[in-house]
Amino acid sequence: MHELDGVSKGDQYRVLGLSTLAFTVCFAVWTIFSIIGVKIKGELGLSETQFGLLVATPVLTGSLSRIFLGVWTDQFGGRLMLPLQMLITAVSVWLLASVQTYAVFLMIALGLGLAGGSFIIGIAYVSRWFEAEHQGTALGIFGAGNVGAAVTNFAAPFLVIAVGWQDTARIYAIALIVMAIVFYIFAKEDPIRVKQKATGAKPVSAAKQLEPLKNIQVWRFATYYFFVFGAFVAFASFLPRYYVGAYGVTLTAAGMFAGMYSLPGSVFRALGGWMSDVWGARFVMYLTFIVSLIVLFIMSYPETSYSVKGIPNAGGAERLITFSFGIPLYFFVFLTVILGFVMSLGKAAVYKHIPVYFPDNVGAVGGLVGMIGGLGGFVLPIAFGILLDVFHVWSVVFMLMFLIVAVSTIWMHLAIRKGDREKIPELRDRTHLSDVPQ
């Protein structure tokens, strides 16, 4: 038997596998507009801003719902909450196929966005099955369910071509329903819920669970997650449109290229969890921010044409030499792969410490961090659309992201230099500074 009472290795593997698979399906649904939205944009004649709002709306619900879904998971358990959330989401996904107007698309998108709330349900549920020294790795593996974005980017374009975007939505709805049933049948009640039922103990009240949100550290976690997760969701939704517009590729090719960003941005989260267990979250966050700054700086350079006055020709006429500079498609795709990789590490680093420092409040604290991070996935696509409509320069999107990461990096470094350990009771007894996530 395992160190946790009544928990075996087999129990842990079953819970982790089922939760990760369910989260993958939910995340694929959550980002469905990245592909079918391009078709809807063409059919309705949407502007870039309207398109940005459409792909961002599901992220709003998925983000705001994380607070109460996290609290309810702490109270009622993930075995009940996750299937219930998937079934409710499936209704909206199915109805999506019958929508005709932009306003109704936005309304249905709000319901579809509940798929994003699966993350905090899984975090709160999975964390109860593992000891603190292995939670970083376990939650990193679970978080790799972000690969659902890559599943959508790779598979949805082919589905759209084969059956149309309406039937693609119906297929996604059916997948949710099947996954909800499978999860409920094969998942088990977490150890804390079992103990509560056996002893008749009542779950911690919502007010008590929300008390740690007064710590400034929690809000700093949320700020970092705004980039590593919020921008990941934003790019996963935006990049197909970017490739079609900036490089003139087909929707299928755009989905494949965007999937090459989403894939490392998901699967290496497990590696980030392991690295956080071994070297500490601070090291991983520095690595994430520094590499992201370099990559975003290069991606920010716009396609540019230069004209240089040359030496006059033999007749004395002025000679004008012109040349252009831009990032080739293959190199841009490579840069997105690197960016997705380090963002994946950062996502795991942020969530490594929540169950360690706030073991009784994982749902509430993780919910807030996930909510703020998810709001990045809502705000950023809209900001991208507005910037493109105003400046008409594709790379302005990456200029914005470079600025956000630069501010976050400076803030993190100043916070580390200043030191806030003594301000947080949970951290006062920590002997290794590398264990303190900034």
Distances (CA, A) of 299 to 295, 331, 422: 6, 10, 40
**Rounded Cα gap, residues 120 and 142, in angstroms:** 11
Question: What's the pLDDT at 207?
Answer: 60
Q: What is the pLDDT of residue 427?
A: 44
Cα distances (angstroms) measured from residue 348 to each of 86, 138, 191, 276, 341: 24, 10, 24, 8, 11
Q: How far is CA 420 from CA 180, 311, 325, 359, 405, in A?
A: 42, 62, 46, 20, 21
DSSP category for residue 258: H
Total length of the chain: 438
Determine the Cα–Cα distance for residues 180 and 15; give it in Å rounded to an integer. 14
pLDDT value, residue 291? 96
Structure tokens at 265: 């941005």
Among residues 59, 57, 53, 117, the alpha carbon closest in space to that of 88 is found at 117
How many of the other CB atoms lie within 10 Å of CB of 254? 25
pLDDT at res. 297: 95
CA distances from 176 to 343, 379, 399 (A): 27, 26, 37
CATH class of 9-435: mainly alpha
pLDDT tens digits, the chain, 438 residues: what are they? Answer: 345 666 778 888 899 999 999 999 999 998 888 788 888 888 888 888 888 888 888 888 888 887 788 878 878 888 899 999 999 999 999 998 888 889 999 999 999 999 988 988 998 888 888 876 777 778 888 888 888 888 888 888 889 989 998 999 999 999 999 999 999 999 988 887 777 777 766 665 556 656 666 677 777 778 888 899 889 888 887 888 889 888 888 888 888 898 899 888 777 887 888 888 788 878 899 999 999 999 999 999 887 777 787 777 777 777 777 777 778 899 999 999 999 999 989 988 887 767 666 766 666 677 778 778 878 888 888 888 888 888 888 889 999 999 999 988 998 888 777 764 444 444 444 434 344 433
pLDDT (0 to 100) of residue 435: 42
Residue 286: predicted pLDDT: 93
Q: Where are the domains of the chain?
A: 9-435
State residue 434's pLDDT score: 40
Q: How far apart are the first and last CA of the chain?
A: 35
Burial 144-156 (b: 16+ CB within 10 A, else e): bbbbbbbbbbbbb
In angstroms, the CA 345 to CA 336 distance is: 14
The pLDDT value recorded for residue 201 is 64
Which residues make beta-bridge pairs with 310? 319
Determine the angle formed by the axes of helices 9-30 and 148-186, rounding to 10 degrees. 130
pTM as predicted: 0.69
Residues 352, 276 contacting (CB under 8 angstroms) = yes
> CB neighbours (10 Å) of residue 351?
35
Q: What does the angle CA 268 – CA 285 – CA 435 come to, to the nearest 5 degrees?
A: 105
